[in-house]
Structure 1
Amino acid sequence: MDTLDKNERLNQLFQLYGCLLTEKQRDYFVAYYVNDYSFAEIAEDYQVSRNAVFDQLKKASEHLENYEITLKLLEKKQLRMKLIENYLESHDESWILKLREMDDN
C-alpha cells in the first residue's frame, strides 16, 4: 500500500473511529493528516518533541486499525457502497436484497 492509499485509509478510519482516540491523538492526527503539518511544526505547537508526535501518531494509527479489525465498520461501509453501485448500474433488485441482508446481520 503506497503512502497516499495509507493516508486515505487512515482518514476514513479516523472519520469512523476518531472519537475513540485521546484528545492529544486526535489533535496530532488532524494536524498531520488533515492540515499537512510536519512533525516539527506539531511538536512546536504543542511544546513536545518530534519523537513524541511520531509516537502518538503511530499509536493513533494502530488504534484505528485495531478498531477496524474488531468492528469492521469501514469494510461494511465499502461493501454497502459496492452493492448500491451494482444496483444503480444494473437495476437488478437482488443487489437491494443483499443490502437488506447485511442490515439484518
Structure 2
Amino acid sequence: MSGENALEKTNRINELYDFYGPLLTDKQQTFLKCYFHDDYTLGEIAADFQISRQAVYEHLKRAEQVLEEYDSKLGLVERHIKLQAGIELLESQIAALPREWRESLADTAAKLRNAE
C-alpha cells in the first residue's frame, strides 16, 4: 500500500474507531490501537501477544470489517462529516455579519460544535 493510501486508511479506521470502537471486542480494540494509533508492526503485536503475524492480520482485518459494517448500517461518520461542514459554513457566514450580530450567533455555533 502506498503512503497516501496507508494514511487515508489509517485516518478512516481511526475515524470509525472513534465512533464504534466500544462495540468491538477487547482484543480487536487492543490490536487496532496498537496498529493504527501506536504504529506497531504486525510482528511487534504478534510478539507482544505471543501469536502469529497471520493471526494479528486476521484480527485486524475482521475488526476493520466490523467497523465498516457498523458504519454502513448506522452512518454516524458521514453524518458527523456533514454536520461539521455545516457548522464551518455557518461560522464563516457569521464572521461576515456586522459585529453586533456575531456574538450571539457565534455562541450558538459553538454550542452546536460542542454538542456534536
TM-score, L = length of structure 1: 0.84
Counterpart in the other structure of 1:25: 28
Q: After the TM superposition, which parts of structure 1 deviate over 3 Å for at least 4 consecutive aligned residues?
A: none
Please say which structure displays the higher CA radius of gyration. Answer: 2
TM-score, L = length of structure 2: 0.76
Counterpart in the other structure of 1:56: 59
Aligned residues: 95
Determine the C-alpha separation between the residues in 2 that align with 1:25 and 1:81. 28
Is 1:72 matched with 2:60? no
Determine the C-alpha separation between the residues in 1 that align with 2:32 and 2:60. 6
> 1:72-91 deviations in whole A, cap 9, x for unaligned?
01111111000000111113
Which amino acid is the alignment partner of residue 60 of structure 2? L
Within-5 A mapping of 1:5-20: 5-20=8-23
Determine the C-alpha separation between the residues in 1 that align with 2:90 and 2:74. 26
Taking only aligned residues, the RMSD between alpha carbons, in angstroms, comes to 1.9
Determine the C-alpha separation between the residues in 2 that align with 1:2 and 1:35. 18
Aligned partner of residue 2 in structure 1, secondary structure: helix
Counterpart in the other structure of 2:43: 40
Report % sequence identity: 37
C-alpha displacement of 1:2: 1.5
C-alpha displacement of 1:28: 0.6
